[in-house]
Amino acid sequence: MSKGLVKAKKYDWKNSNMELFGSKLEREVKKASAVTEPAWQGAGVAPGLRIWRIEKFEVKDWPKEDYGEFYNGDSYIILNTFKDDDSENLAHDVHFWIGKYSSQDEYGTAAYKTVELDTFLDDVPVQHRECQDYESDLFKSYFPQGITTMEGGCATGFRHVPPEQYEGRLFHFGRDKSGHIACKEIPRVASLVSDDDVYILDLGLTIYQYNGETSSPMERSKAMQHVGNIKIHRGDAVSKVLEGATTSKAHEFFEKLDQEPDDTPEDDTDGPDGNKLLRVNTETNLPEVVKEGNFARDDLKSDDVFICETSSSVFVWIGINASVSEKKNGLPYAHNYLRGHGRPWKSITVIKEGQKCAQFEAALAA
């Protein structure tokens, strides 16, 4: 497991007005990667998953053994390559994932590099943006064992910590906003441990699984799988299962929960909005409402760029006759729209006219 360094400010990225291509940040990114991005070599040539992390404006391979694990202070790029059912040609979905504490520079770099990867793959991929705790079902499907989010982030790269020097980490297993079992690192605070869920305290050489008295069999099973994965990569570790009903508060499990609670409130976000279709005015870069409620394919025009919002996500549909600049700036259009309307966490998908996207087809059929 890769170790991160803790960052301080939550949702730093959402406060930024995302600049369009041609900005100072884009020039910095291009300078850092020179003419050709080494990370893209071999990307998308065969079916499978590839993940990279953004480190100081650069794209770095993420270890395969850590796929499914993300630090909340970092930004990542994820490429899924698969065979198209109709043509047998290779197709791609490229996502960038934003941790709660990811910086504006990391967020911007991930966005620009996602577009760069799309260009590298001849504009074939469908582009997506994912935010921590609000990931799309498509993104979650890549990780059958579930997604694990951990405290910390990249500052000078990552390092592997020997188990005997390991700083204790507490993981919570419970249902996320869409009902999936999610694993999330939380502070080592005793008051955060409830009877409803399952927790893993990873002390390096000893791993405790604490089953809350009313926790579900699925939560217990997911936690057990997680413990098994840790032990595979950490030979000498010993695991123990604790039942909430019979575990004393004097047990080492609770003694190691020695951190103070953080009283900082969670960020407030507006609730989900209903379906809405907007056209991007490319002179002002601002969206104009075309239709409230459900929308259909006939509402889309090939000369324009549209933002199609549903209760859980936003699709940017780019007409085939849109300009080169409009085609590159689908992500900034959607980011700035969501930021301005208090819903920065929604997932974003950018679709060019003629591309296949099952999620967009489902939204049109709603």
pLDDT of the residue at 164: 59
Does residue 97 lie within any of the structural domains? yes
Asked if 350 contacts 318 with a C-beta cutoff of 8 angstroms, the reply is yes
Return the CATH number at 333: 3.40.20.10
DSSP readout, 145-185?
A: T--EEES---SS--BPPPGGGPPPEEEEEEE-TTS-EEEEE
Length of the chain: 366
pLDDT tens by residue, 66-114: 999 999 999 999 999 999 888 889 999 999 999 988 888 888 889 889 9
Asked if 148 contacts 70 with a C-beta cutoff of 8 angstroms, the reply is yes
User: CA 287 to CA 306: how far, in whole Å?
Assistant: 8
User: CA 84 to CA 92: how far, in whole Å?
Assistant: 9
Out of 17-31, 83-97, 242-256, 302-316, least confident range: 17-31
Does residue 195 lie within any of the structural domains? yes
Clarify whether residues 134 and 35 are in a common domain.
yes
Boundaries of domain holding 347 = 268-366
pLDDT of the residue at 246: 95
Does residue 296 lie within any of the structural domains? yes
For the four alpha carbons of 84, 90, 91 and 92, in that order, the dihedral sign comes to positive
Which of 108, 142, 158 terminates a domain? The answer is 158
Clarify whether residues 207 and 118 are in a common domain.
no
Closest CA to 133 of 147, 143, 145, 144: 147
Asked if 33 contacts 188 with a C-beta cutoff of 8 angstroms, the reply is no
Clarify whether residues 118 and 246 are in a common domain.
no
In this model, does residue 37 exceed pLDDT 80?
yes
Distance from the first to the final alpha carbon of the chain: 41
Does residue 263 lie within any of the structural domains? no
Tokens 């504009």 locate to 123
Does residue 22 lie within any of the structural domains? yes
In this model, does residue 163 exceed pLDDT 70?
no
| Residue of 216 and 230 predicted with greater confidence | 216
Clarify whether residues 40 and 125 are in a common domain.
yes
Most confident of 62-76, 140-154, 260-274: 62-76
Asked if 134 contacts 94 with a C-beta cutoff of 8 angstroms, the reply is no
3-class state of residue 24 by DSSP: helix
Clarify whether residues 113 and 175 are in a common domain.
no
User: CA 113 to CA 301: how far, in whole Å?
Assistant: 28
Strands 48-55 and 206-211: unpaired
The continuous run of DSSP H or E covering 81 comes out as strand 75-83
Clarify whether residues 78 and 165 are in a common domain.
no
Clarify whether residues 35 and 141 are in a common domain.
yes
User: CA 212 to CA 185: how far, in whole Å?
Assistant: 17
User: CA 71 to CA 59: how far, in whole Å?
Assistant: 15
Which of 196, 225, 255 terminates a domain? The answer is 255
* Count of domains forming the chain: 3
Which of 158, 188, 203 terminates a domain? The answer is 158
User: CA 357 to CA 350: how far, in whole Å?
Assistant: 10
Tokens 């909340």 locate to 72
DSSP structural state of residue 363: H
pLDDT of the residue at 7: 44
Closest CA to 151 of 227, 100, 107: 100
Asked if 114 contacts 37 with a C-beta cutoff of 8 angstroms, the reply is no
In this model, does residue 116 exceed pLDDT 50?
yes
Q: What backbone torsions phi and psi does residue 362 show, to the nearest 5 degrees?
A: -65, -40
CB within 8 A of 299, min separation 6: which ones? 277, 290, 291, 306
In this model, does residue 190 exceed pLDDT 90?
yes
Most confident of 166-175, 192-201, 270-279: 192-201
User: CA 10 to CA 345: how far, in whole Å?
Assistant: 13
Give the rounded percent of residues in the chain with a pLDDT score beyond 70: 84
Clarify whether residues 10 and 50 are in a common domain.
yes
Clarify whether residues 250 and 279 are in a common domain.
no
Does residue 261 lie within any of the structural domains? no
Clarify whether residues 279 and 364 are in a common domain.
yes
pLDDT of the residue at 24: 57
User: CA 126 to CA 120: how far, in whole Å?
Assistant: 13
Task: Classify residue 208 by burial, with Cβ atoms within 10 Å: 0-12, 13-18, 19+.
Answer: buried
Does residue 262 lie within any of the structural domains? no
Does residue 3 lie within any of the structural domains? yes
Closest CA to 332 of 270, 285, 364, 283: 285
Clarify whether residues 235 and 279 are in a common domain.
no
Clarify whether residues 1 and 128 are in a common domain.
yes
Asked if 180 contacts 142 with a C-beta cutoff of 8 angstroms, the reply is no
